[in-house]
Amino acid sequence: MAVLDTLDTLAPIREKILAGERLDFDDGVALMETDDLLALGDLADLARRQRGGGDEVFFVQNINLYQTNVCRVKCKFCAFAKTRKQEDAFTLTADEFVEDAVRQHELLGFTEIHTVNGENPHVDLEYYAGLLRKLKEALPDVHLKFYTASEIHHMSRLEGCSHEEVLRTLRDSGLDSMPGGGAEIFADRVRALIAPGKEHPDEWFDVHDIAHRLGITTQCTMLYGHVETYEERVDHMLRLRDQQDRTSGFLSFIPLAFHPENTVFERRGFRFTTGADDLKVIAVARLLLDNIPHVKAYWIMMGLPLAQVALHFGADDVQGTVVREKIFQAAGASAGTEQKVAELVRFVRDAGRIPVQRDSLYNEIRRW
């Protein structure tokens, strides 16, 4: 009987995938609700291949660096943000940041810097633009993937100007692309519970919309595993898909599993997500987001062993070497903060896939 139930739920979706048809909201919820994890993974891998995916799994040689952890927003899921007076608050000068970046580049030879910060109310737009200019001058060949849409919105408030003016200023100062954070869950109900001080999702979309129209590619994310329902996850993904239909500027989708340590939710008894849920989100994302080229299994978040399994659930990217990640470490991540290229290669190969080192725009640098 259980087998028949499974077939009934997934069979029509499989037919749609084979026919190249787009899945809808109800399909998304049905996929989220299935307990047949292996069939779900199989379907996601089928969809990935149907849309032109091969055996390549991508990674980038990158480093995470942070300008400031001072933040005006009190998101309840966050263990990274501090107020200016807290002991471990920091706000680096451009010189401090650039000096460190150059030293690390000599040691590691990364091709990308990934920077996400708190929404610091004590600095201005020039704090960000000036740093980008100095950094680009010092490391002209390094791709600068800087600032979430939430930070861009915050800068526009600080400066009293539009999203477009901020983005033009940053782009002209050296910004190359943007990370996907700040999306959390778009549903008003959830946002009010986990991030009441954060901008409305319309602002997040407006920033990405303008960035894409200005030729700045971006990523997109979803923070799951807290108070959201399956329906709210599907709604979130479909809003991203609609945006991508309009502007095509998202390069990848990264599901972010909620880490509760040192957050308000830890005190309320919230736990880490399970491996089954992590794999489910990866697979459903690959199935629904038919117009976003890459889905990342971010090893920092799910650990290398599970990320390896996720490569058979629709993911085709493991993010990168990552060195010095802080946001997930603050909230209890245990997978470490750095992988060597050789280790990423070994783990992709062991999953039966072809490791490809990419640049930030998915051009191939080297394959093994």
Name the helix (H) or strand (E) containing 354.
strand 354-358
Q: State which residue, 73 or 108, has the beta carbon closest to ligand V47.
A: 73
Q: Locate tokens 């920033």: which residue?
A: 207
| Residue 116 near ligand V47 by CB under 6 A | yes
Residue 256 in contact with residue 221, Cβ under 8 Å?
Answer: yes
Least spacing, CB of residue 184 vs ligand V47, in Å: 5
Candidate residues 241, 259, 312, 358; the one interacting with ligand V47 per rule CB under 6 A: 259
Q: For residue 58, give the amino acid letter.
A: F
Q: How far apart are CA 186 and CA 233, in angstroms?
A: 9
Report the alpha-carbon distance of residue 233 to residue 222 in Å, rounded.
8
Name the one range near ligand V47 by CB under 6 A: 25-33, 118-126, 181-189, 276-284: 181-189
C-beta closer to ligand V47: residue 60 or 101: 60
Residue 201 binds ligand V47 (CB under 6 A): no
**Which residue lies nearest ligand V47, judged by its C-beta?**
181
Name the nearest CA neighbour of 119 among 203, 240, 223, 211.
203
Contact region with ligand V47 (CB under 6 A), list: 102-110, 155-163, 257-265, 346-354:
257-265
Structural tokens at position 48: 């990935």
- What x/- string results for residues 325 through 344 when contact with ligand V47 is judged by CB under 6 A? --x---x-------------
68 lines the binding site for ligand V47 (CB under 6 A): no
Under the criterion CB under 6 A, does residue 45 sit at the interface with ligand V47?
no
Identify the CA nearest to 41 among candidates 351, 364, 354. 351
Give 47 or 78: the residue with its C-beta nearer to ligand V47.
78
C-alpha 81/C-alpha 123 separation (Å) is 15
Residues 285-314 that bind ligand V47 (CB under 6 A): 298
Residue 143 in the binding site for ligand V47 (CB under 6 A): no
Count of residues touching ligand V47 (by CB under 6 A): 21
Which tokens is 328 given?
A: 């997930």
Select the span of 89-97, 164-172, 178-186, 206-214 touching ligand V47 (CB under 6 A): 178-186
Q: Is 205 in the site for ligand V47 (CB under 6 A)?
A: no
Tell me: does residue 148 bind ligand V47 (CB under 6 A).
yes
Strands 56-60, 354-358: parallel, antiparallel or unpaired by DSSP? parallel
218 with 209: CB under 8 angstroms? no
253 phi, psi to nearest 5 deg? -115, 135
Half-sphere exposure of 86 (CA within 13 A, CB side): 14
63 in helix, strand or coil?
strand
State the residues that interact with ligand V47 by CB under 6 A: 77-79, 116, 148, 179-182, 184, 219, 221, 223, 254, 256, 258-259, 263, 298, 327, 331
